[in-house]
Every structure is written in structure tokens, then in C-alpha cells.
Structure 1
């Protein structure tokens, strides 16, 4: 039998064997017996080199056509067997209605955090992050908090049993220090994150809660800049009818320092005219000196508030513990 006469019968035999394969394993075995390194069809192709110059063009054309048909038959049979393998082994009624997979939602605190971040990004603030396990320097010393300050007492702070007296951060102000240590001014950042304090859990307190703090440092920054920013952000979060006021207060890392109250139709609905919502102030010169900023050139403001407080006001929730109980009936509402 001539070389050309062998091609068609071998091709037909290969296609028949491919169609006869009953599973993917058998199919791969059949493929190897014909198209593998030692396969029958591969061996036939190797004989092309022994043909005369006159025979090679026609033989090469027939070989390539046959090989293409074999590969197409292989792909088609593999698809059939893969579908067969995916089908249920037991009889199935495909007319039954399907079961939809329940889609999850973002936690309400995550939704509020994203809204806060979105509001600040509109006015050029970047998001900064830092470790939750901190040292006393970044959490207290660099923020001008004296050693005898009540916040540093073990009754208020979770200290870890480590040689260097590490702690769980009580605020995200430590992120502000870390950012200023790494970059020169101007600085415009917000630092959302989880913080820890030794509070007994009740309707308005939790040992773990979410906080967001902001820092703006530049030349000629004033309290007017602070008030304008605060008004813009709280109107973005709680409605255009929000008004804010500043009351004098004391924080060791700002001077002057203020508590922020806000008023809106929602607050008046609660039977109050003003409601405390945040703390803020102009960055203390000693904080700037600690991080290497010249307080004669640079000024800035900082603020901080609890994200749970915003969420409770927005959604009219009266117990902070609901955010952490993982009750799906509660979470589905948001």
C-alpha cells in the first residue's frame, strides 16, 4: 500500500476510536495512541521525509488535512464527555425551579465608612493606615500626652504583656504621627480604623469600635478651614440642614481644642437642639516639634469621631452592640 493510500484509512480509524471513547481518560489514551510521540498518525507523518520531491507536496497536504480533522474530532468529543461528566449521576428533574444564592451586603459600618471616605476624597484627602498594636510613643508621647494622663492608665488602655509595653491603640491619632514622620508637609489625610478602650459594653459603649481621624497641615491653616471642612463632611453624611458649633474643650495634642456639636431636624426629632458628635482642634506646636515640623512655618488641624455614632444617627439605632452581634435579621435591613 502506497503512502498516500494509508492516510485516509488511518484517519477514519482514529476518528472512530475517538468517538468510541466512553470517558475523558479513555479519550486521552486514544489521543496518545494516534497523535502522541509514538502514535500511529505521528509515525506516518515521520515518513514524509522518505518521499520523493514529487510526492511530498501532495502527501503533506493530505497529512495536514487529516490532522486538522482529527484535532477537530478530539475537541468535539472532549466537550461531549466533559458535559457528560458534569451532569448529575442520578436522574434529575430539570423543570424544577432553581434555588437562588443569597447575595450578601456590606456591613452598615462599612457602608458609613465608605461614605465618609468618599466625602473627604472630594476635597483632596487621602486615606492612611497604621498598626492596631501600637507603642506608647506613637499612641501617647508623640501626641503630647503626659505620663500621668488618665488615658494611659491600665483602666483605660489594653496593655500587652510584652517587654516594650505595647498596647492596643486607643485612637487612630497614632497614624497621624506615623504619616508626619515619613513625609514633609503639606499633609491631608484621614485615618479610619478599629480602636480599643477598656469600656464596659452597653447601649453607647463597646471595648472595640471604629474611629476616623483627620489631619490637615499646610501654611496659614486656620480654624476657619477646620469649621468649613467639618460642615461640608457632616452635611454630606447627615443632610444639608446640618449646622455645627464648636465648644471649648481640652485635648493634649491640640491647642485650642473644641468639641463639635451638630443640629438638624433629626436631632430636634430626638427632643434636643444640639448633639455632641466629634472632637477637634489646631495641632499643638509640641506635636509638630516631635515629628520635625517647624511650628513657626506650619499650622494644621486634627479631628476625630466614632463611625458607630454616625451610623446610629443615620439609621436611628439605639444600641451600639447591634453592630457586633452578627444578627442577620438586623444586618439585612441595610
Structure 2
């Protein structure tokens, strides 16, 4: 692969473009979504871990050279066109040729998560971002005095009746279970809102994906196996998973989901706070009260649910240290993906 990169760097250095047709040929070969760079980054995924740092650096050099050369060729071709302006009509107000955009890192991770769960038989369901109290809190077994029902934790649009911006995508789980009889096997990606002080680690809105599986004889081992497969697919075959006892109003028993740190391989680093483990979400068996509120007999059916923040997973996967970068639209950040 190093030889390929060297060959392409040499080709870029020698590249010339006398007209727009040759400029487009350069763009299609090196810059476009189906070009050389995309092909090499796909091959990079198969590079042994001990070579990734070195080859990744060379790949970034190649990418930068291609972009700089493309801009240089644009300037050259546009300059040549301007010099011939006396022979033809030229509209100098037309926008210049610009680089193609890329997929936002959150979209990349969300699409990968959906792909993994779809292979396990999960469908994708979506629901409203503006929700009533019943579907966001009451049906999910939240007590009347729960802090999440207070305006300092949740964005309420109106009171009596209570209408709010949903605090999780669990409202889609309730709406799904209300529609018919089990089995249900779905994931619910979407944007949620919480009255948080904005910082590098928290934002007033973020993206979440939850999952629900309800059927006869569903057990905690089904939950563990589903999430174990997910973690290995997303973070790598060597990934380990553990469950720590926790509490959520809508599941019992409940557990936090941790994965072994894929940065330090369990040795301890700043990403995992030197514990060897990083938390990615919460999970548990659906509380019988939740099933009953949706008209499902908990003596006949059982199920599990889980949820995780897409921003958190993306930050872990790409080692991003500030959640605000996802919504600031800074091209210096987005160009890296």
C-alpha cells in the first residue's frame, strides 16, 4: 500500500490541466467519491494495527497534496480562461469549482449502527420530537416527582396539558407497542433534547439510538448476546463487554453497558480514565409496568431495551474531545471525515 501511495503522490506532482476537461479528469481520479482516495481509505481498514499510524500519516499527506494540487489546477485553468476572455463571453460571477462534501461523522456512525442491527433482524422506527407527557414519561414508569419532569431538566412547550421536546427516543417504543401485538424488534434513532449547560461533554440536543425486543421467553441472555455482537461489529473483534447494575424507571433489572477500551486495550488511558473500560449506554429488561401501560400482558411476554448516544460513540470511535464540534459546521473539522 505504501508503494501505491508513493506512486499516486508522484502522479499528483506531475499532473497538469490545460482546460476544464483535464481538470475534471483529475478531480474524478483523485478527489471524487469513487476516486483513488476513497479506494485507499477502504484498503486502510485492512492494514495491521502496528502499521496504521505510519500508513495513515502517508494517506493524509496524499489527501492534502491532492486537494492542494486540485486548487492549483483550478487557479491555472481559470487564469487561462480569463486571458482568453476577449475571444468569448465569460461570466466572472459564476461560482468556482468547489470540492465535494463528505458525510458528517454522526451520520457515518448512525448509518453503521443501523446496518449492524438490521443484520440482526431489527427494523428502524421513528417518531415525533414534540411529545406529550404520557408517551415520554408516564408510560415509561417515571414517578410524578421524577427530576426529569421538571423544567430545569426538560424543555416544556406547554403545561396542562404537558407538551415537551422528547428527552429520549423511548417515546417511539411506546408508540410501537401501542400499535399491535408482539413480537417487536426495532431500533429508534433520532434527536433528543435536554436542558443541559453546553460544554465540551454535554449539549442541549444530541442524537440517540434505542432498541426494543419484545416476544415470548425473551431473557437477559438475549440482551447480552445482541449487544455483544454489536460491540464487536462496531469497535472490533477483540472488544469485550460488561454489564454494571444500575437503575432506570423503565427497565428491571437494569445495567450500564461498558466496552473494553479499544485505544489502550485495557492498559489504561485518558479515554477510559485509566480503568480499561468505557461506558457506551444503558440497558435492561422491560419493566412489566411499561408493558401493561401499552396493553401487553407481562405474564405472557417479556422484552429487553437499550439506548446509547450517537455523539458519545462517535467521540470514542474517532477520539473527539468536544461534542460542540458536531454542530458548529467548522469545515476544518468536517474535512477530516
Q: Which runs of 5+ in 2 are unaligned?
A: 1-84
Counterpart of 1:69?
A: none
Q: 2:280 aligned with 1:272, yes or no?
A: no
Q: 2:160 aligned with 1:157, yes or no?
A: no
When Rg is computed on C-alpha atoms for both structures, the one with the higher figure is 1
Counterpart of 1:299?
A: 302
Distance 2:187 2:145 in 1: 28
| Change in CA separation of 1:90 and 1:251 when aligned onto 2, cut-off 3 Å | farther
* 1:171-193 deviation line (CA, Å, top 9, x unaligned): 00000000000121000000000
Displacement of 1:162: 5.8
| Change in CA separation of 1:220 and 1:89 when aligned onto 2, cut-off 3 Å | farther
In 1, are the aligned partners of 2:235 and 2:262 still within 8 Å (CA)? no
In 2, are the aligned partners of 1:241 and 1:264 still within 8 Å (CA)? no
Match of 1:137 among 122, 129, 134: 134
| Change in CA separation of 1:162 and 1:103 when aligned onto 2, cut-off 3 Å | farther
Q: Which stretches of structure 1, 4 residues or longer, exceed 4 Å deviation after superposition?
A: none
Displacement of 1:164: 2.0
Count, aligned residues = 243
* Secondary structure in structure 2 of the residue aligned to 1:282: strand
Q: Which runs of 5+ in 1 are unaligned?
A: 1-87
Displacement of 1:89: 11
Displacement of 1:153: 1.1
Counterpart of 2:51?
A: none
Counterpart of 2:331?
A: 328
Root-mean-square deviation (CA), in Å? 1.8
Return 163-172 or 210-219, whichever deviates more.
163-172
Distance 1:89 1:294 in 2: 82
Distance 1:328 1:163 in 2: 44
Distance 1:130 1:288 in 2: 19
TM-score after normalising by structure 2: 0.69
Distance 1:107 1:133 in 2: 25
Match of 1:204 among 196, 201, 204: 201
Counterpart of 1:180?
A: 177
